[in-house]
Amino acid sequence: MDEDANTAAMEELKPDPATPIDPTMIKSREAVKKAKADNSGRVYRVYCDGIFDLCHIGHMNLLKQAKHMLGKPEKTYLLVGVCSDKLTRKYKGKTVIDHKNRCDTVSHVRWCDQVVPEAPWVLPDSFLEKYKIDFVAHDALPYVVSTADSNMDMDDVYVSIKAKGMFMETQRTEGVSTSDLIVSIVKDYDLFIKQNLQKGYTKEQLAVGKTWEMRTKLKVNKEKLSESIDKTKQEWIEFKSMAKEFGREFNPRANSFQLRQLKKNLKDPYKRVKSHGTTLRKSVWISVKDFLWYINPFGYFSKKNILIIFLGLYLAFMWQYFLYTYVPKA
């Protein structure tokens, strides 16, 4: 009889038919159900902990669920524990954001009533008593800990909380996690490095070597050089077209040409040719500067030295041309 009653209770408290029945959650679900039906005006102290690195919508949904689990949010005083950098590195790994900034971020979430910065990894009775905690909110999946310290190895850090009937079950937000965000950043690592180098960050700030920095700059300058060359070609075509038009309007033999209106006849075509000529010169200069960067990417040569090198190459070329053209072969 007792076994049948227990099975019926489990079926009644089961939140989702697709979710396997967890016998350790029966006591906690009954306690939450009782607290939810309590209309005495009591405010329950609910504790929710985490790392909250790169605080995202999954974290927001967790805190929102914890605040509203008992019905009206006024019935819940939500304490949010944020694990320290030292504990996180020991049991999970390095964080992107430091402990102070993670605490500050959580404190600005509308459902958080109090931040607990000294959150332990496993909740001892002394901690529960200190903060007068009624329930601990988290998703019901076992949170496994496995470290070099065999004394800390356990299949679920919330096992004692579930045994006490103090566990408040929340639902995970599928498709988003801190790990997913980090993976998306690492996946486009080269692109993010390139963007931040262009914004002015140094290779030291981004922790990349000189080779990576030069590779990125070469790629950027290659794109700029290609764009400048294409622009120069287009400008040159337009410039020639404008120059021909200018020549036709300047022709004194043309029927429309009048000497008295020379200034008026030449004003508009001259402006058009001049504007394209200016743009053309700028495009050529950009192309030349990018080419100079290609041959001097590390900045070892000054502009004066580069001019001397170019002059030397030019003289060597002319000397070879002279020998080839005028000196008879033996």
What letter would DSSP give residue 41? -
Q: How far, in Å, CA of 203 to CA of 221, rounded?
A: 17
Question: In the chain, how many domains are there?
Answer: 2
- At 1 the pLDDT is 40
pTM greater than the 0.85 cutoff: no
- Is 38 contained in some domain? yes
Same domain, 169 and 232: no
Same domain, 215 and 89: no
Least confident segment among 109-123, 164-178, 218-232, 273-287:
273-287
The one-letter amino acid code at 33 reads K
28-41 pLDDT, tens digit each: 999 999 999 999 99
Same domain, 157 and 261: no
Same domain, 160 and 245: no
Which two three-digit tokens encode residue 328? Answer: 């008879």
Mean pLDDT for the stretch of residues 159-181: 89
Same domain, 136 and 242: no
Same domain, 125 and 229: no
- Is 194 contained in some domain? no
- At 254 the pLDDT is 58
Residue 118 has pLDDT above 60, yes or no: yes
What's the CATH number where 165 sits? Answer: 3.40.50.620
Same domain, 9 and 115: yes
Mean pLDDT for the stretch of residues 174-188: 83
- At 184 the pLDDT is 82
Closest residue by Cα to residue 123 from 137, 110, 113, 109? 137
Same domain, 156 and 222: no
Same domain, 171 and 75: yes
- Is 51 contained in some domain? yes
200-212 pLDDT, tens digit each: 888 778 877 766 6
Same domain, 78 and 13: yes
Decide if 265 contacts 299 (C-beta within 8 A).
Answer: no
246-270 pLDDT, tens digit each: 666 555 555 555 555 555 655 666 6
- Is 197 contained in some domain? no
- Is 223 contained in some domain? yes
Residue 106 domain boundaries: 2-185
